[in-house]
Structure 1
Amino acid sequence: MTQEIHVRRYDIDWLRCLAFLLLIFYHVGMYYVFDWGWHIKSAEQSVWLQDVMVWSNQWRMSLLFFISGLVTSLADHKLSHWAILKERSSRLLLPLIFGMFVIVAPQVYYEGLTQDLFEPGYWDFWLHYINPNSEFLSDHHGPIGLLTWNHLWFLPYLWCYSLILLAIYPWITQVLSHRLLQSINGKCALAVLILVMLGIWFYLRPNYPVTHDLFNDWYSHGKYFWVFVVGFALDKFPVLWQRLIECRRGLLIVAFMCYVFIIMDRHQMFQPLADLYTRSNGVRL
């Protein structure tokens, strides 16, 4: 009888660390970037930071959910579903509760001070902050008063996605192990992943603005739950993993070209073409 040995994926550990490091630098940059709304802004703001930060705008959070899905699949090799749920709850919900009451509270307090919404006095503010029935700053209340998870929204989203994935686990593993799906080559699988993401971007993004309130955030759910499931499936779909490895240089070139295109468009370098399109019937044809 052979015993299955699962080697720790240090490459995934490194990718997760780099993703969170990028997230930290991005949020620090929001303090200094010019003309982008943020809770507190520096008096010294930089326009060129916009071009730097737009590089990761569309994928930095998707990368975190993708890695989380992959880690969930790797944990499935050695933990029961109940153990995974317990681990996720302790690692996500407890930090979320602590963060909302201890970490986020001073952030909201100092933001309110900079906007002259109330007089200094953190303890009085905190008592109103933790009371969902308080009438203090009622114009700024959310569903539970002033209490908010702010930028910790990733934690409840990931917990809910994990719960959903474990609930549909028998079905999704049956689909992933189906002979027809396993026979699909890497190119087709990669094309399907991209087409689904494009569909989410075109059909959900215009109709459902990002809210991060969990209940009315369907574009974010479509995008993040999809990449979460893709991350989970990647561990169980070796042909796609191998295809991504083989295409990594080409995909990097495409990503760089798309970034250049976005920057050129932001600086209106395509405006002459747009003007020509509006003036010339020949160009339209």
Structure 2
Amino acid sequence: MRRHDLDWLRVSVFGLLIFYHVGMFFVPWEYHIKNNVEYSWLRYPMLFLNQWRLPILFVISGMGTSYALNKRTGLQFSLERIKRLFLPLVVGMLLIVPPQVYIERIAYGQFMGTYFEFWPSKAFTGVYPEGNLSWHHLWFLPYLLLFSLALLPVFLYLRKHPGNRFISRIKKIVSNKYGLFWFLIPLFLYESLLEPFFNVTHALIGDWFAIANYATLFFYGFLLISVKEQFWKTVTQHRRFYLRCGLIGFTLFLSLILIFEDSIWIHFTEASLKVFNLWSWILALFGYAANYLNKQSKILTYSNEAVYPFYILHQTITIVAGYFIMNLSWGLLPKFFILSIATFGGSFIIYEFFIRRWKWIRPLFGLKLKKVTYPPSKQSRGSEAKVDPSF
């Protein structure tokens, strides 16, 4: 049974990802190229988004995996995951990411020459950052593929035994508004005990904190769908409570990192506030989306298919456009506006005219061979999915 609120959340969070990557051009955090003026205050709204934007995407992907497995065998699911995740990753590393690396190299005087002097002869020599081969923002795809295949035996068991003791226990836990905070325990342990020793690299190899953290969130998504309507009932009824928890959690977290020096006790307190904050926002967003957004529309129909190609394309367009304005004397707002319009507009043009309409190009960007058809918008909210929402 399709939940349109998950589609709305997925589309909205990936839309925020585009604004987030535009913002990375202006904040004093490491990024591929930087504006000639950096704005320290912009870190705080960026930090707010950064707390929950990736976690909720992995939870939504885990939920989508449950829907995908309802229509496929384990083998069919595995082959479909490879086709939808690995193929676009390879295409992205060959065609989409190299312009980003090229722009970075010429921006900082590390390469002199045209793009076709860089690609393909230099584009795949060595591994980034020392070399040029990278998956950059497409790191989400290999992680999602790893989690999908590694957790598949567990998912198949849970699907085959929907009334097992574990699921029954989880259903009882999520029926209470406080019970959902039990899910914080593994996240707190990762944040407090793993994160200090394993920096997030998105390189997959050795990225133990990110793997443990995101795999658990992915598993949570599958688990919460497995308890069926009980989860949605709880988050819908108590969405205001979770929103208040999120507001309090982020306020305390921000105050802590601004006021206190780092120490072992501050570290554990920060870890607890961080996971409390991100989980509260995830629950609040699910609650409000379930209450207000579980409905189909023409905008959602189009956006739900477009979001994957937009994700693949967007950062390259942002970096290319950013290169041409990075040293101009314009202020933050004009540059942010230009970069946002260029990214959304460029992604739309490439998707609409060079991907969506071409049968054999579509699979290279994770789409089905034929254009997707949807049920009429007035069809019931529980109508069966025509698009696999597991990305």
Question: TM-score normalized by structure 2?
Answer: 0.61
CA contact (8 A) 2:62 2:218 kept: yes
Question: Please, which moves more after superposition, 238-247 or 169-178?
Answer: 169-178
Matched to 2:173, the amino acid is N
Matched, 1:26 2:17: no
Query: Relative to structure 2, which stretch is displaced further, 123-132 or 197-206?
Result: 123-132
Q: Is the contact made by 2:74 and 2:156 (CA closer than 8 Å) also made in structure 1?
A: no
> 1:151 & 1:129 partners in 2: Cα distance?
20
Shift in CA distance, 214/176, structure 1 to aligned 2, threshold 3 Å:
farther
Query: 1:13 is aligned with what amino acid?
Result: D
Distance 1:56 1:162 in 2: 25
Q: Distance in 2 between matches of 1:90 and 1:243?
A: 36
Shift in Å, 1:172: 4.3
- Within-5 A mapping of 1:180-219: 181-183=167-169, 184-186=172-174, 187=176, 189-219=179-209
Q: Superposed, which structure 2 residues align to 1:1-285 within 5 Å?
A: 6=1, 8-33=2-27, 35-132=28-125, 140-141=130-131, 146-173=132-159, 177-179=163-165, 181-183=167-169, 184-186=172-174, 187=176, 189-238=179-228, 239-268=230-259
CA–CA distance in structure 2, aligned partners of residues 139 and 156 of structure 1: 18
TM-score by length of 1: 0.82
Aligned partners of 1:81 and 1:241: how far apart in 2?
A: 27
Q: Displacement, 1:54?
A: 0.6
Partner Cα separation in structure 2 for residue 265 and residue 208 of structure 1: 22
**CA distance in structure 1 between the aligned counterparts of 2:59 and 2:119, rounded to whole angstroms:** 35
Residue 140 (structure 1) shift:
0.7
Change (3 A) 1:48 1:82: same
1:278 corresponds to which residue?
none
Change (3 A) 1:207 1:171: farther
Secondary structure of residue in 1 paired with 2:112:
coil
CA deviation after TM superposition for structure 1 residue 47, in Å:
2.1
- How many Å apart are 1:89 and its aligned residue? 1.8
2:313 corresponds in structure 1 to none
CA change 1:111–1:181 in 2 (3 A) is same
Amino acid at match of 1:256: L
2-structure distance, mates of 1:88, 1:219? 23
Q: C-alpha displacement at 1:196, in angstroms? A: 1.6
Separation in structure 1 between the aligned mates of residue 76 and residue 202 of structure 2, nearest angstrom: 28
Cα drift, residue 115 of structure 1: 1.2
When Rg is computed on C-alpha atoms for both structures, the one with the higher figure is 1
Query: Alpha carbon RMSD of aligned pairs, Å?
Result: 2.4
TM-aligned CA deviation for residue 181 of structure 1: 4.3
Unaligned runs of 5+ in 1: 1-5, 275-285
Contact 1:129 1:147 in 2 (8 A): no
Instruction: Could you tell me which runs of 5 or more consecutive residues in structure 2 were left unpaired when the two chains were aligned.
Output: 264-391
Query: What per-residue deviation string (whole Å, max 9, x for no partner) do you get for residues 145-169 of structure 1?
Result: x211011100011011111122333
Say whether the 8 Å CA contact 1:32–1:41 is kept in structure 2: yes
